[in-house]
Amino acid sequence: MRNYKNVIAAYSIMIFLIILVGIFQSWSIALTILNYCLISAVMTIGANIQWGYAGLINFGIMGYTALGGLAVVLVSVEPVKKAWQVGGLNILACIWIIIAIIFVVKFILNRFDKSKLRNYSVAFVILGGIILLRVTAAPGIEAIESVDPAKTGFLGGMGLPVLFSWIFGALLAGGLAFVIGKIALGLRADYLAIATLLIAEIIVSIIKHEEWLARGVKNVIGLKRPAPYEIDLQTSEWFINLVTKFNSSKLNLINSISDKQEALNQMVIDASSVYVKLCFTGLFLTVVIILLIVTQKALYSPWGRKMRAIRDNEEAASAMGKNIVKEHLLIFILGSAIVGLAGAMMVTNDGLFTPGSYRPMRYTFVIWVMVIVGGTGNNFGAILGGFVVWFLWVEAAPIALFLINLFTSHLPETNAVRVHLIESAPYFRFLVIGIGLLLIMRYRPQGIIPEKIIKQ
């Protein structure tokens, strides 16, 4: 128990902070922050598996997150039948063409020896394939995008319950990681970072601009939810009764019946949003706990030891007969799949898919700061990092605003410096995160909760 003292202390402080937000701002905001903390925690578990366990640097987190979000659209949205009728065949044909290209390239690579002729023929096949793809797809895409463009204009999804999309998102991200891993894992660490960053950018730009797929920058709104809707709750009797029961002492203080009814209505509206967020919290917490148990077991299993050995000394591990390339690929896929799951969770939580919002700052670098600040190689640390950094990211602006007001209170309201500072309060979050990262890197490079290796 003694060993876990700092872990327990750190988490209690974190929960205390969130409760403070609940008291001072509102419970709804506190729960929003908590939900995002949990989602961030899932992302950091994924990044930590790659960086902490195996030492792989993956700056492509944004791409997997976006892919997870795409999965939600592809799984949960009702299919647009008309779009399938007008353009579905073209799209299906394109999928077959892509598969054919891959097989032909594979065949050429396997069958012939390395030579200039082989390179040229591979290039020719790929280039010809792309032209063929464009010719096949163009009329289909045009037809699909013109089907009721204000509302749909895309193929839609499978119309399944939204929770399936979490699994599908993980699979999709894992599949992509397989391809990228095959291509890029041989690179040296900083090149891998740049390559993954750029590949993620490509993925996001495809999602942004292929409108037949998920409406691109036009966004998909009103996605399904695994939790009840506020409006249903507000009209259901059991919920109103529940709220009345909880607040009976407050309500009893109000004398007039109309005031009482009004107060009750307000309480029901507030409570319904809190209730929905609590449902999400429950779901996310389940995911985090399951992942934590699994990753913790994996970390202290022979497999985890093998990964650490590879991380710390590749040559030695390779001399012991471990297949480094295979293990790296496996862990790259696993980590990315978890990030994809987090991406799907996030879009489910928001209820909308906005490809334009995927930016490397927010979805790659902030996640990396979380892992480094929390503690690389330690799952508790990574999750804590997710909590701390997300909390700072959200609360930095209000705190900065408070401090600015405090320090400039002797200046008049119209003072230019004061007005300028108040306007730029939201950007203090970058400052806080950046300075936090630099301080941690300098004075506590292992993170808040450092890696702990249990000797068996």
What is the b/e burial string over 365-374, where b = at least 16 CB atoms within 10 angstroms of the residue's CB? Answer: bbbbbbbbbb
DSSP conformation class of 352: -
Q: Which of 56, 59, 45, 42 is nearest to 341 (CA)?
A: 42
Q: Which of 154, 332, 368, 391 binds another protein (CB under 8 A)?
A: 368
Which residue reads 């994924």 in tokens? 46
What is the b/e burial string over 256-283, where b = at least 16 CB atoms within 10 angstroms of the residue's CB? Answer: eeeeeeeebeebbeebbbbbbbbebbeb
- Under the binding rule (CB under 8 A), the answer on residue 387 touching another protein is no
State the Cα–Cα distance between residues 64 and 226, nearest whole angstrom: 22
Q: Which of 20, 438, 444, 453 binds another protein (CB under 8 A)?
A: 438
Whichever of 15 and 361 has its CB closer to another protein, that residue is 361
HSE at residue 386, side-chain half, CA atoms within 13 A, is 25
Which residue reads 């927010």 in tokens? 362
- Under the binding rule (CB under 8 A), the answer on residue 445 touching another protein is yes
Q: For residue 361, give the 3-state DSSP assignment.
A: helix
- Under the binding rule (CB under 8 A), the answer on residue 191 touching another protein is yes
State the Cα–Cα distance between residues 42 and 284, nearest whole angstrom: 9
Cα 182 to chain center, whole Å? 23
- Under the binding rule (CB under 8 A), the answer on residue 424 touching another protein is yes
Whichever of 95 and 217 has its CB closer to another protein, that residue is 217
Query: Taking contact as CB under 8 A, which single stretch among the options 10-18, 149-157, 196-204, 317-325 is the one that binds another protein?
Result: 196-204
Query: Minimum distance from CB of 372 to another protein (Å)?
Result: 6
State the Cα–Cα distance between residues 387 and 383, nearest whole angstrom: 6
* Radius of gyration from C-alpha coordinates of the chain: 25
Interface mask toward another protein for 39-68; x: CB under 8 A: ------------------x-----------
Whichever of 50 and 349 has its CB closer to another protein, that residue is 50
Instruction: Please state the φ and ψ torsions of residue 146, each to the nearest 5 degrees.
Output: -95, 0
State the Cα–Cα distance between residues 277 and 98, nearest whole angstrom: 42
State the Cα–Cα distance between residues 16 and 23, nearest whole angstrom: 10
- Under the binding rule (CB under 8 A), the answer on residue 372 touching another protein is yes
Whichever of 176 and 184 has its CB closer to another protein, that residue is 184
Query: Minimum distance from CB of 356 to another protein (Å)?
Result: 12
Query: Minimum distance from CB of 437 to another protein (Å)?
Result: 4
Query: Minimum distance from CB of 74 to another protein (Å)?
Result: 21
Query: Minimum distance from CB of 369 to another protein (Å)?
Result: 7
Query: Minimum distance from CB of 441 to another protein (Å)?
Result: 6
- Under the binding rule (CB under 8 A), the answer on residue 178 touching another protein is no
- Under the binding rule (CB under 8 A), the answer on residue 179 touching another protein is no
Q: Which of 345, 348, 327 is nearest to 386 (CA)?
A: 345
- Under the binding rule (CB under 8 A), the answer on residue 427 touching another protein is yes
Q: Which of 285, 430, 446, 451 binds another protein (CB under 8 A)?
A: 430
Q: For residue 220, give the 3-state DSSP assignment.
A: strand
Query: Minimum distance from CB of 188 to another protein (Å)?
Result: 5
Number of residues that bind another protein (CB under 8 A): 41
Q: Which residues pair with 353 in a beta bridge?
A: 220
Instruction: Please state the φ and ψ torsions of residue 2, each to the nearest 5 degrees.
Output: -60, -35
Residues 208-227 that bind another protein (CB under 8 A): 208-209
Q: Which of 433, 447, 448, 449 binds another protein (CB under 8 A)?
A: 433
Which residue reads 């050995």 in tokens? 309
Whichever of 237 and 423 has its CB closer to another protein, that residue is 423
Q: Which of 29, 187, 251, 324 binds another protein (CB under 8 A)?
A: 187
Residue pair 71/172 in contact (Cβ under 8 Å)? The answer is: yes
Whichever of 274 and 370 has its CB closer to another protein, that residue is 370
Q: Which of 95, 183, 316, 320 binds another protein (CB under 8 A)?
A: 183
Residue pair 448/379 in contact (Cβ under 8 Å)? The answer is: no
State the Cα–Cα distance between residues 361 and 430, nearest whole angstrom: 10
Whichever of 35 and 90 has its CB closer to another protein, that residue is 90
Query: Minimum distance from CB of 389 to another protein (Å)?
Result: 11
Q: Which residues bind another protein (CB under 8 A)?
A: 57, 183-184, 187-191, 193-195, 197-199, 201-202, 205-206, 208-209, 361, 365, 368-369, 372, 421, 423-424, 427-431, 433-435, 437-438, 441-442, 445
